[in-house]
């Protein structure tokens, strides 16, 4: 069974702190990984993706993620969070190398304290 | 620039009543289109996808149906709503990555 696991339902940090949101996957073969952000009551917005090449990928608004085949992980990081980063973050994966068959994790709510 | 518009923004419906949700894509010809459902506080589940007019594939059976009457339009519907249909419905288009609409909040009472 192909799964995407986000072990933290909630992460709380202070504004200006660094943060890492964890994502682990269980897939065989080539994998396509991505992160999306959902602000309260809104649709999802794409942050970044990985399919091949450099395992560290840069996204919008200072986010980056690192692919690790040995750890089956694709963790999302940001060096210094802003209050506007408060949202739910979804990790998603697919085998096809594209977005057609994305499986989403359960999401991690990032809470930024002032 | 491409835009994706979903309607209505929110619906409150009675169990057993019909439902029709819509999605329109502008600025992109022949997009791949998707319907996702999100339970309150939950993850997203792909319901349907379509790669061309008149052709829709069902991914999950939830007593819902979808149609693509025009290249830029994707409709989600049912004749009889269930309580379990409550949630947030998101339309998306893609080459890669997915671009989502703002969603429709559905409450079934």
Dihedral (C-alpha) A7, A9, A15, A16: value to the nearest 10 degrees? 10
| Domains of chain A in sequence order | 3-113 (2.60.40.10)
Yes or no, beta carbons of B32 and A100 under 8 Å apart: yes
Q: Tell me the pLDDT band of A59, cut-offs 50, 70 and 90.
A: very high
A109: distance to nearest CA of chain B, Å? 10
Q: How far is residue B79's CA from residue B92's CA, in Å, rounded to a whole number?
A: 23
First to last CA, chain A: 41
- For chain B, what's the residue count? 109
How far from the centroid of its chain's Cα atoms is residue A51's Cα? 14
Write the CATH number for B26: 2.60.40.10
A44 contacts chain B (CB < 8 A): yes
Closest residue of B to A91, CA-based? B43
CA–CA distance, B6 with B101 (Å, rounded to integer): 6
Chain B nearest-CA residue for A50:
B97
Note down the domain range covering B67: 3-108
Instruction: Please give the tally of structural domains in chain B.
Output: 1
A43 to B98: CB separation less than 8 angstroms, yes or no:
no
Tell which residue, B45, B35, B107, has the closest CA to residue B65: B35
B40 touches chain A (CB under 8 A): no
pLDDT tens track, chain B, 109 positions: 888 999 999 999 999 999 999 999 998 888 899 999 999 888 899 999 999 999 999 888 789 999 999 999 999 999 999 999 999 999 999 877 889 999 999 999 9
CB B27 within 8 A of CB B83: no
- Predicted confidence at residue A97, as pLDDT, reads 57
List, as one string, the DSSP characters of A30-88: S-EEEEEEE-TTS-EEEEEEESSS-SEEE-GGG-EEEEETTTTEEEEEESS--GGG-EE
pLDDT at position A79 is 98
């Amino acid at each position: 069974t192909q799964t995407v696991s986000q072990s933290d339902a909630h992460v709380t940090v202070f504004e200006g702190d660094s943060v890492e949101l964890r994502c682990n996957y269980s897939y065989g073969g080539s994998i396509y990984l991505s992160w999306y952000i959902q602000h309260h009551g809104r649709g999802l917005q794409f942050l970044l993706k990985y399919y091949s090449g450099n395992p560290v990928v840069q996204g919008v608004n200072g986010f980056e993620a690192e692919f690790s085949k040995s750890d089956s992980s694709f963790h999302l990081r940001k060096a210094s969070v802003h209050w506007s980063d408060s949202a739910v973050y979804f990790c998603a994966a697919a085998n096809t190398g594209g977005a057609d068959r994305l499986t989403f994790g359960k999401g991690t709510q990032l809470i930024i304290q002032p | 620039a491409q835009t994706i518009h979903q309607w209505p923004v929110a619906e409150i419906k009675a169990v057993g009543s019909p439902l029709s949700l819509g999605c329109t894509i502008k600025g992109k010809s022949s997009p791949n289109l998707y319907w996702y459902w999100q339970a309150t506080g939950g993850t997203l589940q792909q319901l349907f996808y379509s790669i061309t007019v008149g052709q829709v594939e069902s991914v999950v059976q939830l007593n819902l149906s979808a149609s693509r009457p025009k290249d830029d339009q994707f409709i989600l519907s049912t004749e009889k709503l269930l309580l379990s249909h409550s949630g947030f419905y998101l339309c998306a288009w893609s080459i890669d990555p997915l671009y989502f609409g703002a969603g429709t909040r559905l409450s079934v009472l």
